[in-house]
Amino acid sequence: MQLTSYCLLFFFLLQFSSLSAQEDWEISKDKGNIKVYTKSSVNSKFKSIKVTCVTVGTIEQIISIFKNVETNVSWIYSCKKSYMIKIVDADNIIYYLESGAPWPVSNRDAVVNMNFRKSADNRNLTITTSDNKTILEQKKGIVRVASLSAIWNIVAVDDKNIAITYYLDVNPGGSVPAWAYNLFVTEGPYSTFKKLTELLKNN
């Protein structure tokens, strides 16, 4: 069983490496079991982001963590505030998220639609997120994210390990200095995944 698990882990890591080469992603951070990639976006001046990771955890753990949006402040990079707006149904939620930014850049916020879709055998989970511009008015002093689109693909490697591939396209809106944006695309995804893996290991 242990040999099978190692073979599966190797297969997913090899698959991630192959996918990265095919899509012209450039690696910006490779540390531990977390790899962060970027590439130019066709529709935006801001780069697309991809993260791959194989970690201890289960699909049910991921669902529980993601639906408990109030705890986002403990693991999502620079998250200052997060709360539920509406539970549409068991597979769809809408929540508010505010991200802090270093002075003199203004904080950003977004209303996020999140959808959960599991495969019939419960071995695959896809989580999609997008910005919702109709529910909550923009707050004074905070810049509303212009656009947000993210996909989490989670695959159960075995009963104790999961492989995660994350894609993000975001336009933060307003004016963002190059140094602040570079900090976001390099440190932000890595920090988020590092804390998420720690959360999975401790629960």
Taking residue 39's Cβ as centre, other Cβ atoms within 10 Å add up to: 15
User: What is the value of pTM for the model shown?
Assistant: 0.85
| Region 185-202 average pLDDT | 93
The pairing of strands 26-31 and 34-39 is antiparallel
Number of residues that this document lists for the chain: 203
Where do the structural domains in the chain lie, given as residue ranges?
2-202
Which residues lie below 8 Å from residue 190, measured CB to CB, with a gap of 6+? 29, 31, 34, 36, 51
Cα(181)–Cα(1) distance, rounded to whole angstroms?
A: 44
Q: What is the token pair recorded at 149?
A: 């689109």
CATH topology of domain 2-202: Alpha-D-Glucose-1,6-Bisphosphate; Chain A, domain 4 (3.30.530)
List residues bridging with 81 in a β-sheet: 98
Give the model confidence (pLDDT) of 65-102 as tens digits. Answer: 999 999 999 999 999 999 999 999 999 999 999 999 88
Give the model confidence (pLDDT) of 94-147 as tens digits. Answer: 999 999 988 788 999 999 999 999 999 999 999 999 999 888 988 999 999 999
